Structure 1
Amino acid sequence: MSNTFIDQTSATETSEANERHLAGLAAGEASTDRISSVQLSLAKLPLAGPVSDAKVLTGRQKPLTEIAFLFAEITTEAGCSGIGYSYSKRAGGPGQYAHAVEIAPDVIGEDPSDIGRIWTKLVWAGASVGRSGMSTQAIAAIDIALWDLKAKRADLPLAKLLGAYRDAVPCYNTSGGFLSTSIDEVVDNSRASIERGIGGIKIKVGQPDTRIDLKRVDTVRSELGDDFPLMVDANQQWNRSAAIRAGRALEEFNLTWLEEPLDAYDAEGHAALAAELATPIATGEMLTSVSEHRELIRARSVDFMQPDAPRVGGITPFLKIMALGEQAGIRMAPHFAMEIHLHLSAAYEIDPWVEHFEWLEPLFNERLTIADGRMIVPNRPGLGISLSEQARAWTVESAGFGSGF
């Protein structure tokens, strides 16, 4: 009898505990608003022409001709709204969109300020496909939209909401220096970037014949002068011995950094290069989780870490990577997505860079201001962006959840 009574009590307590746990997943008494709708869209941005880097020259990828964007637009019962995006190059865009469609209904009714809890809830909703990669890149669009919404509600630029160290961030251009671009065009593009106010130039390397790389770098360095910031990017196409040889040959050009000389997951190899070469090492853009960046930082593999908010799962995990980098004293130069990364770089303590790509400008109604080598944090609330009619025209799929759909 007593055993039966104890079992019944235990079952009741378990049931009550489960109810309390489930209640904790809903917006609570402290909530002042709830998410009422989520709209997702998949848009494909065509590039002006095919673009190639070293991955194309080695036969591992085809030239890049378009970029797929997953947009999330979130609205609350109080009428607040936020927008976020993720992206994929060559493949993966439809997969991100499909996963986002599966999990987006789970945010309806949530308090939009509970961003960390919502991120975790969405990760567990798709836990069977992992906690990094495509699954969290789908979450990224929603997570970024929530941070945009939160900053808009505070009537602050996102950088100011996070706590900015600066109102403008040194910026460098990448889009003018691909291997599919002739060296004369690279020089012309570099001049145009500098005239626009950009403070650094990055060009691609990784030719099968390193002598071609050295000639291109020498030409651009001669054009820029000895002290103007110049970066090079090998896009992971060297092995360790080739990277050492190329890295030593490149040292005479006073580079700001040598980017992705090795496979993105070779933390040990990057650490050896960082210890061997005078040129700083930069990498990290291909990593898709906090844990992968933690290993890169732990191994002292980088002088410049290059996380990408849409790739790591949004701003919520990106902030964790920032904290790790600051603790280790590592500089940061986030990859791509300047509309997002400008705000995050402004809130990073240790002298960052932000990457300039004009490719995304047609997607938004607003433009970022560049002057004196720096990209200026806009005074618009949130990320300070809104989708253009062109972005709507490039949309190939869309889905809505919650009220109004």
Structure 2
Amino acid sequence: MTATKPRPFETVRLRASLDQIRSVSLSLVRLPLAAPISDAKVLTGRQKPLTEIAFLFAQITSEEGHEGLGFSYSKRAGGPGLYAHAREIAPELIGEDPNDIARLWDKMIWAGASVGRSGLAAQAIAAFDVALWDLKARRAGLPLAKLLGAHRDSVDCYNTSGGYLSMPIDEIVANIDAALARGIGGIKIKVGQPDTRADLERVAAVREHLGDAVPMMVDANQQWDRATALRTGRELERFNLTWIEEPLDAYDAEGHARLANALDTPIATGEMLTSAAEHWNLIQAGASDFVQPDAPRVGGITPFLRVMALADHKALSLAPHFAMEIHLHLAAAYPRTTWVEHFEWLEPLFNERFELRDGQMLVPARPGLGLSLSDQAGAWTTDRLTI
């Protein structure tokens, strides 16, 4: 009997490798907020109150009819810039295999490398990258969390949108009651006022209202200097906070590390960073106990997964910033302690809603991100293009 000579791997063409990206649709959407909101950056005069959020949406369709939806965003300035950069590099995807996500991320970042490989350039790529991961998970018939390899089917969640400095304390208390009744498990409020005594009074009032059992966080939005952060952090120890967020400038790795070593309360930071390399600088320095990457800001899910691996290597907890519509799936795929941040602001953009139960947000059973754009998103669209 003559044995059949095996075919070398390089001559075997898998069915998945035959698909190609047929079209990419881009849209710039401006979501208005119900009321202007302010954090510490507004009180220090560095920013104006936030009134709207600009979203860059990417919808990718393959020759075999598979589709994926992704988005990036910008608060205040930057939305038109994201859209313009995405429009320039989108043709790089046409004809490519949508399975090759990491290679396509490299291709896109180098296509615009003259303006950098982080910042706005990475954030524009994020919309494409998220759409490609959504497409892959939809094609597999799996929620994105399951495609990545989920460690849990639900994630602890906390609310931020009800605790801004522009809100009086009675409004914050009412927002807290509504959030807890909805099934949210933790509460975060903003601090960082010029008078730290006012911050302490607000924290004390909220902690008294919550009691000791409900997890509570505070966020200074980078507006303290090192001395103020240390003094105020010591005052905050008595409130048993889950973390103090962004007490210092986002790039002050040394200062955050000193603070993390000096305080019992965990430190959380990282939301403003725009690359995996920037996160590694903070992680190596021991600058935080909770790593807070933002997938749209770091360039999408592909670099976010690198940040997750780096954080896991250092045995750190994870609390992604904003965009729960993406981060729920990523947090579910992280092996250690993790939280997801609840903002109801984006809900009008999508037809679907996430389920909250007993302090946790449940990973939906729908394939991919489990999202589709609403008619309202179309009404708020100011620019669109299909390539």
* TM-score normalised per structure 1: 0.92
Aligned pair partner of 1:228 in 202, 205, 214: 214
Aligned pair partner of 1:60 in 46, 52, 70: 46
**1:358 match: secondary structure:** coil
For 1:284, the aligned partner's letter is G
**2:18 match: secondary structure:** coil
**Which residue of structure 2 aligns with residue 342 of structure 1?**
328
Kept after mapping to 2: 8 A contact 1:37/1:108: yes
Aligned pair partner of 2:229 in 236, 243, 251: 243
Kept after mapping to 2: 8 A contact 1:172/1:198: yes
C-alpha distance in structure 2 between counterparts of 1:127 and 1:190, whole Å: 44
User: What pairs up with 1:232-381 in 2 under 5 angstroms?
Assistant: 232-381=218-367
**Cα drift, residue 226 of structure 1:** 1.2
Kept after mapping to 1: 8 A contact 2:21/2:97: yes
Aligned pair partner of 2:73 in 84, 87, 99: 87
For 1:172, the aligned partner's letter is Y
**Which residue of structure 1 aligns with residue 84 of structure 2?**
98
After superposition, the C-alpha distances for 1:94-145 in whole angstroms (9 at most, x for unaligned) are 0000000000011000000000000000011001000000001000000000
After superposition, the C-alpha distances for 1:34-55 in whole angstroms (9 at most, x for unaligned) are 0000000000000001100000
Cα distance change, pair 247–32 in 1 and its aligned pair in 2 (3 A): same
After superposition, the C-alpha distances for 1:351-389 in whole angstroms (9 at most, x for unaligned) are 100000000000000000000000000000000000000
Percent of pairs identical after alignment?
71
C-alpha distance in structure 2 between counterparts of 1:78 and 1:352, whole Å: 36
For 1:198, the aligned partner's letter is I
User: What pairs up with 1:96-245 in 2 under 5 angstroms?
Assistant: 96-245=82-231
For 1:295, the aligned partner's letter is N
* TM-score normalised per structure 2: 0.96
Cα distance change, pair 29–383 in 1 and its aligned pair in 2 (3 A): closer
Kept after mapping to 1: 8 A contact 2:30/2:381: yes
**Cα drift, residue 227 of structure 1:** 2.4
**Cα drift, residue 32 of structure 1:** 2.6
C-alpha distance in structure 1 between counterparts of 2:325 and 2:363, whole Å: 9
Kept after mapping to 1: 8 A contact 2:16/2:99: no
For 1:94, the aligned partner's letter is P
For 1:214, the aligned partner's letter is L
C-alpha distance in structure 1 between counterparts of 2:368 and 2:281, whole Å: 31
C-alpha distance in structure 2 between counterparts of 1:380 and 1:339, whole Å: 13
C-alpha distance in structure 2 between counterparts of 1:29 and 1:371, whole Å: 41
After superposition, the C-alpha distances for 1:155-196 in whole angstroms (9 at most, x for unaligned) are 000000000000000000000000000000101101110000
After superposition, the C-alpha distances for 1:60-95 in whole angstroms (9 at most, x for unaligned) are 000000000000000001000000000000000000
**1:31 match: secondary structure:** helix
**Which residue of structure 2 aligns with residue 34 of structure 1?**
20
C-alpha distance in structure 2 between counterparts of 1:227 and 1:384, whole Å: 32
For 2:309, the aligned partner's letter is A
Q: Say whether residues 1:77 and 2:63 are aligned partners.
A: yes
C-alpha distance in structure 1 between counterparts of 2:72 and 2:14, whole Å: 29
C-alpha distance in structure 1 between counterparts of 2:383 and 2:257, whole Å: 43
After superposition, the C-alpha distances for 1:298-324 in whole angstroms (9 at most, x for unaligned) are 001000000000000000000000000
For 2:172, the aligned partner's letter is V
C-alpha distance in structure 2 between counterparts of 1:41 and 1:268, whole Å: 40
Larger radius of gyration, structure 1 or 2?
1
C-alpha distance in structure 1 between counterparts of 2:110 and 2:361, whole Å: 37
Kept after mapping to 2: 8 A contact 1:297/1:328: yes
Aligned pair partner of 1:44 in 27, 30, 34: 30
Please, which moves more after superposition, 218-227 or 155-164? 218-227
Kept after mapping to 2: 8 A contact 1:35/1:112: yes
The answer for unaligned runs of 5 or more in structure 2 is 1-12
**Cα drift, residue 28 of structure 1:** 9.5
**1:177 match: secondary structure:** coil
C-alpha distance in structure 1 between counterparts of 2:138 and 2:152, whole Å: 20
For 1:125, the aligned partner's letter is A
For 2:326, the aligned partner's letter is I
C-alpha distance in structure 2 between counterparts of 1:82 and 1:219, whole Å: 45
C-alpha distance in structure 1 between counterparts of 2:163 and 2:103, whole Å: 41
C-alpha distance in structure 2 between counterparts of 1:380 and 1:232, whole Å: 33
For 2:374, the aligned partner's letter is S
C-alpha distance in structure 2 between counterparts of 1:124 and 1:202, whole Å: 38
For 1:210, the aligned partner's letter is T
C-alpha distance in structure 2 between counterparts of 1:30 and 1:312, whole Å: 28
For 2:278, the aligned partner's letter is E
Kept after mapping to 2: 8 A contact 1:307/1:335: yes
C-alpha distance in structure 2 between counterparts of 1:384 and 1:32, whole Å: 25
**2:69 match: secondary structure:** strand
State the number of aligned residues.
Answer: 375
The answer for unaligned runs of 5 or more in structure 1 is 1-26
